[in-house]
Amino acid sequence: NTCADVREAYRRKGWAFKNADTIEQCMREGFTQKLQEQKNEGCQVYGFLEVNKVAGNFHFAPGKSFQQSHVHVHDLQTFGLDNINMTHYIKRLSFGSDYPGIVNPLDGSNITAQQGNKVKHLTMIILTGGMRNCQKVHQPPC
């Protein structure tokens, strides 16, 4: 078995994976050392999401996500909840196609998070234009 196998077994049982130094496979693979080497690293996220036109959310979080009792959760125990720093910079976040005059309110946001705290951005997307005679701008007739 690997350290990943043990972590998955803990997840299936619903157990917290707190101390990798007490697990033979994780000690052998240097799991704790790898985490220490990565502790000051960040990430760059880019891409696009295609969503339905209904209320919803999306989020970014460290760790592996899974379903437990029909709830979406993230395994953050490995990182130590006090060690997570969600400080971030949003270069650009847009919804839908670009068109002249559109304002994306989170563009250029520089957010400093308190250690161990999560950050939420709440936004509401409202169609305010772009429809003419049942035609969407830049798309074929309805």
The neighbour count for residue 20, using CB atoms within 10 Å, is 21
pLDDT per residue as tens digits for the range 4-27: 999 889 878 878 777 888 999 999
CA separation for the pair 119, 86 (Å, rounded): 7
Q: Output the pLDDT for position 29.
A: 94
Sequence-distant (≥ 6) Cβ neighbours of residue 34 within 8 angstroms: none
At 137, the pLDDT band (50, 70, 90 cuts) reads very low
Q: Are residues 57 and 26 in the same domain?
A: no
* Stretch 34-47: mean pLDDT: 76
**Given phi > 0 = left and psi -120 to 50 = alpha, else beta, which region is 74?**
beta
pTM higher than 0.75, yes or no? no
* Judgement on whether residues 52 and 111 belong to the same structural domain of the protein: yes
> Given a cut of 60, is residue 35 above it in pLDDT?
yes
Asked if residue 124 and residue 71 are part of one domain, the reply reads yes
pLDDT of 88 > 90? The answer is no
Residues 6+ positions from 93 with CB-CB distance below 8 Å: 104, 106, 107
Number of domains in the chain: 2
Same-domain check for residues 96 and 72 = yes
Where in the sequence is the domain holding 7, given as residue range(s)? Answer: 1-41
